[in-house]
Structure 1
Amino acid sequence: MNLNIKATKENTYDAIVVGSGISGGWAAKELCEKGLKTLVLERGRNVEHIKDYTTAMMDPWEFPHRLHHTNEMREKHPIQSRCYAFDEATQQFWVNDKENPYNEVKPFNWLRGYQVGGRSLMWGRQVYRWSDLDFEANAKDGHGVDWPIRYKDIAPWYEYVERFIGVSGQAEGLPQLPDGIFMPAMEMNCLEKHVAARIKEQYKDRIITIGRVAHVTEKHNGRGPCQYRNLCARGCPYTGYFSSNGVTLPAAAATGNLTLRPDSIVLEVLYDKDTAKATGVRVMDAHTKQTVEYYANIVFLNGSTLGTTWIMMNSVSDRFPNGFGNDSGQLGHNLMDHHFGVGAGGEFDGFEDQYTSAGRRPNGIYIPRFRNVNASTMQKDYVRGFGYQGGAGRGRGIGNEGIGVALKESQTIPGKWGMGIGSWGEHLPYFENKVTLNKEKKDVNGLPTLDIDCEFKENELAMRKDMQQSAIEMLEKAGLKNVHGYDGAPPPGHCIHEMGTARMGRDPKTSVLNGFNQVHAAKNVFITDGACMASSSCVNPSITYMALTARACDHAVSELKKGNI
């Protein structure tokens, strides 16, 4: 890998990839392996695999504050510290909110990681294929615009990605959740198995399965296997889970075609109106603030949903006065995130003679979507659907009485078994959910910030009632006691599945990208991160970004060879 920190005079490449996260890493791998000299631009610092996972092997007592948040951490990270994966061991992977502000027109938690690898270092790793239930939804119920692809178009690319990254899971034969290429599944514990059996007895329309997760459960291409430490957000020195740093960027580097330039903030896409193509990008060095231009035949924008859209909006010219490729007026609109933080939990009497013995499994159970799947499951109050993630375990300690030895001994006795399930619901694409550039409020680099105006609406709120009530009902039917529902109502963004804002579509008048993720008005520019999404489904989206990226890279190189771009 060529680490190009100081700009050289040789600024022309075959391809430029903006961003090094989940989709950017895939673009780098595919383009490099297809023989293109590829420049990857990352706005954040360099993070080297294993070497820079400085907290990965530390025990809780080795941290000054035992992993708790400090006032200083909350001051620097008032938004990021709301994330479950943020603590004293992972804070280095999350942005400083004071230096990277944004403006909440309505509440929105924008959770970000600016470094090589992006959020692929801290992601939740759940990977589920979409089905035609998802790709056909917009056309059938009239929300958003029709996807220009269907499951058959992306299915071979899901397989391609799964074989490379390693996905553990269980095939279930469900049309709404297509099976993939799976490594051996992680095992459910005794209570999860019990609840799964009871759900199968009680319902004909739903199941519990183990989560499908991007962890290798056996050795795979020199990686892993997963060590069941569940310290993934610190970076994995065993490469047990998929990250750009551990998997795709090394594959790109192995070709000799990769040049990686961290600390490089892309300001805009350069455009030649005579050829109707992008010529490259303009970049600001994060330290010196000096700007430099890089040139290439192909540009992939993978700066994350809102990062990519910021670049597009900041790229104005006579041809694109309202943002690059924004002939449709859709750029920045149709922002979505999954709505979650709603479900139920309860206690279970039994299995006192059993305890988990397989370490800390970095995964949970999954209940696939069962609403609005077919004629018999249609709902009157809302469209689309939701799924559940969750798990069971035993509490620690029978009490907190006493001091010294007595207290310690009480904490070594396992408590009761309990189980919780939380739901992830689909967010419809609304034009009025949008981001816009604010040129009055600047970040630490003197650049415009984003105004984010996004909310969940009536359809999502109606769905949440069912999400909670169904969770309560299932746990009660499974034999749990003291079942309680909850709805924390976190704002959009908090699920970290933000998507939309530069959607794919069939018609250039109503979309930004075509069916191969090309900007309608500049065919050599591709967007394959979350910005491209025309709807949100209810499952974690990252593997769909990966599959779309691999597919788009294949198309890009084919078109380049034909002289079409």
Structure 2
Amino acid sequence: MGNTKETRTFDAIVIGSGISGGWAAKEFTEKGLKTLVLERGRDVQHLKDYPTTNKYPWEFEHRGDITADVKEANPVVSRCYAFREDAMHFFVKDTEHPYVQDKPFDWIRGYQVGGKSLLWARQTQRWSDFDFEGPARDGFAVDWPIRYKDIAPWYSHVEKFAGISGNKDGLPNLPDGEFLPPLELSCVENYFKDFVSKNYKDRNVIYARCAHLTEPQPIHLEQGRGQCQKRNLCQRGCPFGGYFSSNSSTLPWAQRTGNLTMRPHSVVHSIIYDEQKGKATGVRVVDTQSKEMIEYYANVIFVNAAAVNTNIILLNSTSHRFPNGLGNDSGVLGKYFAFHNYRGHISAEYDGFKDSTTDGRTPTSAYLPRFRNVVKQETDFLRGYAAGFSSGRGKNMHTEGFGKTLKENLFNPETTGWYVGSHMMGETIPKESNKLTLDASKKDEWGIPLLHLDIAYDDNDEKMLKDFFEQMTEMYTKAGFTNIKTGDSKQAPGLDIHEMGGVRMGNDPKTSMLNKWNQLHACKNVFVTDGACMTSTSTQNPSLTYMALTARAVDYAVTQLKKNEL
């Protein structure tokens, strides 16, 4: 066939193969569109490319730890909890894609087929109208162009396919979904759950919904996935497909249609805009192995490179029509960037349930949905925070003796008391001053301008952190927990790995980049459905919302293509 324009032309191009890109690939190919997925990293195939997934602890040279040399060479990524000896091959090292921190920002990346879907924490809570209505009601950011009713059917669509474990909790601020049976909470987690429900009318502790197959349904078996084994080694890649990832689910599904072309080692330089046609016609790609610039063409383009890289691509896609970045008539591209505040944590001890302990492992725990400023403004800060809640019992291992005595000591460790802990996930307010820009002269090895990140906390974040400590300390104290300790990690933005914004949705093209269908106001055949599209952050883990927005946008895009509207 050769390398002709015809062979490089597709019905749809998807930039990125992570959680949202995988969903775009699945939806497009299922609907019969020949789809090219561009991934800047290497190929990673389910089962085949999980080199550490079945290793025992003693098979790792450093017993799972990273060495001082690795830590020194990677001061940013080594701060991530999952950057360990068993999974560091799935992370971008600091020197592999440099960027400029105008203010401290820990940019955690996974450049491979599947992206960070191999590494995510798999927490999946829906948004409610309290979240979508927040900006309009509270006077920050711009109004979301959608409400819960617009996305609810698409939440259901992706939940059924991905497999989400949870309870029907009946909470207006955290809508129920299409759930597989939940795993068990510990006795202490259940105790705290009951305590909070009895003592606080506006607060609930629930089982944290997660993308794990507790009871696989026919659709999951058809994907070739199996039940979660609760190994808690998810960051290695799961050989059972027990948790949702692009690699185990959406991408193989798309591949089976015969409509998918996957191209790894492909850094997208920019999107091609045709001045005469008034639309995008394709993308420019730099092959990471040959450094050759290649162009690919399609009628519709989905940008799902993850929030920061999606901003970079659009900012670098300049033309006579769009001198400041593709679709950037409003001038807000790269601005109003936001994230989640994970700085606060609190620990304590509990003297009860001495006759009980934990059995095995679990990939999730308990969760306290946001309860501050939900129905009305009641604090001196905007919005609020959610919190995790987990518990466990420690063990003192005795290694004295030899032979039979040593065996008995090892198999009968001394159990210590219960410990509990919580971490906050606070909503940050999108601000114009929190922005991404491209360097005017310095470029990376692929010829793309270096990224500048100018993002910071503000006074609202500090007040929220203080309130988290006060409220959780009060609840812990009333519940009978002791030795309560609060801690501020003071971590830089970015380590939450929930970066959002820069290409926000909105009703007004003068103040936003995307309309209610996630398409650029000023370039109708380009869509953005990853974290870059978010108008605000709420307090829920965002990946489920990206998936739902993606499936919804693809459905709309295909409809418009059939009408020749794109």
TM-score higher than 0.5 here? yes
Deviations 1:52-80 (A, max 9, x none): 11101111111000011113322443211
Distance 2:126 2:430 in 1: 20
Question: One-letter code of the match for 1:107?
Answer: P
Alignment-derived partner of residue 430 in structure 2: 429
Alignment-derived partner of residue 318 in structure 1: 320
Secondary structure at the aligned position of 2:267 is classed as strand
Is 1:143 the equivalent of 2:145?
no
Distance 1:254 1:39 in 2: 14
Identity of aligned residues (%): 52
Alignment-derived partner of residue 519 in structure 1: 520
Determine which of 25, 28, 32 is the counterpart of 1:31: 28
Determine which of 264, 277, 280 is the counterpart of 1:278: 280
Q: Which moved more, 1:189-198 or 1:58-67?
A: 189-198
Alignment-derived partner of residue 391 in structure 1: 390
Distance 1:552 1:563 in 2: 16
Question: One-letter code of the match for 2:17?
Answer: S
How far did residue 440 of structure 1 move? Answer: 3.4
What is the RMSD computed on CA atoms of the aligned residues?
A: 1.9
Question: One-letter code of the match for 2:193?
Answer: A
Alignment-derived partner of residue 481 in structure 1: 482
Alignment-derived partner of residue 291 in structure 2: 289
Is 1:118 the equivalent of 2:119?
no
| Equivalent residues of 1:199, 1:477 under 8 A apart | no
| Equivalent residues of 1:183, 1:216 under 8 A apart | yes
Q: How does 1:55-454 map to 2 (within 5 A)?
A: 55-220=52-217, 221-222=220-221, 223-357=225-359, 359-375=360-376, 378-397=377-396, 409=409, 412-454=413-455
Distance 1:116 1:472 in 2: 43
Question: One-letter code of the match for 1:269?
Answer: I
| Equivalent residues of 1:268, 1:311 under 8 A apart | yes
Question: One-letter code of the match for 1:450?
Answer: L
Secondary structure at the aligned position of 2:342 is classed as strand
Secondary structure at the aligned position of 2:501 is classed as coil
Distance 1:41 1:6 in 2: 17
Distance 1:330 1:403 in 2: 68
| Equivalent residues of 2:301, 2:525 under 8 A apart | yes
Distance 1:461 1:7 in 2: 56
| Equivalent residues of 2:112, 2:264 under 8 A apart | yes
Moved over 4 A (4+): 4-9, 400-408
Deviations 1:158-193 (A, max 9, x none): 011111101001111111111111100111011111
Distance 2:353 2:48 in 1: 42
Q: CA separation of 1:476/1:6 partners in 2, compared to 1, >3 Å: closer, same or farther? A: farther
Distance 1:343 1:280 in 2: 46
Distance 1:349 1:413 in 2: 16
TM-score calculated relative to the size of structure 2: 0.96
| Equivalent residues of 1:138, 1:144 under 8 A apart | yes
| Equivalent residues of 1:139, 1:146 under 8 A apart | yes
Q: CA separation of 1:12/1:337 partners in 2, compared to 1, >3 Å: closer, same or farther? A: same
Deviations 1:302-335 (A, max 9, x none): 0000111101111111111111111100000011
Distance 2:525 2:174 in 1: 33
Distance 2:542 2:245 in 1: 15
Q: Which moved more, 1:472-481 or 1:408-417?
A: 408-417
Distance 1:152 1:464 in 2: 32
| Equivalent residues of 1:343, 1:472 under 8 A apart | no
Secondary structure at the aligned position of 2:295 is classed as strand
| Equivalent residues of 1:333, 1:431 under 8 A apart | yes
TM-score calculated relative to the size of structure 1: 0.96
Secondary structure at the aligned position of 1:464 is classed as helix
How far did residue 408 of structure 1 move? Answer: 9.1
Question: One-letter code of the match for 1:409?
Answer: N
| Equivalent residues of 1:36, 1:257 under 8 A apart | yes
Question: One-letter code of the match for 1:313?
Answer: L
How far did residue 83 of structure 1 move? Answer: 0.5
Alignment-derived partner of residue 464 in structure 1: 465
Distance 2:427 2:17 in 1: 27
Deviations 1:446-505 (A, max 9, x none): 432210001111111111101111111111111111111111121211100000000011
Q: CA separation of 1:473/1:256 partners in 2, compared to 1, >3 Å: closer, same or farther? A: same
| Equivalent residues of 2:286, 2:446 under 8 A apart | no
The number of residues matched between the two structures is: 558
Alignment-derived partner of residue 47 in structure 1: 44
Structure 2 spans left out of the alignment, 5+ residues = none
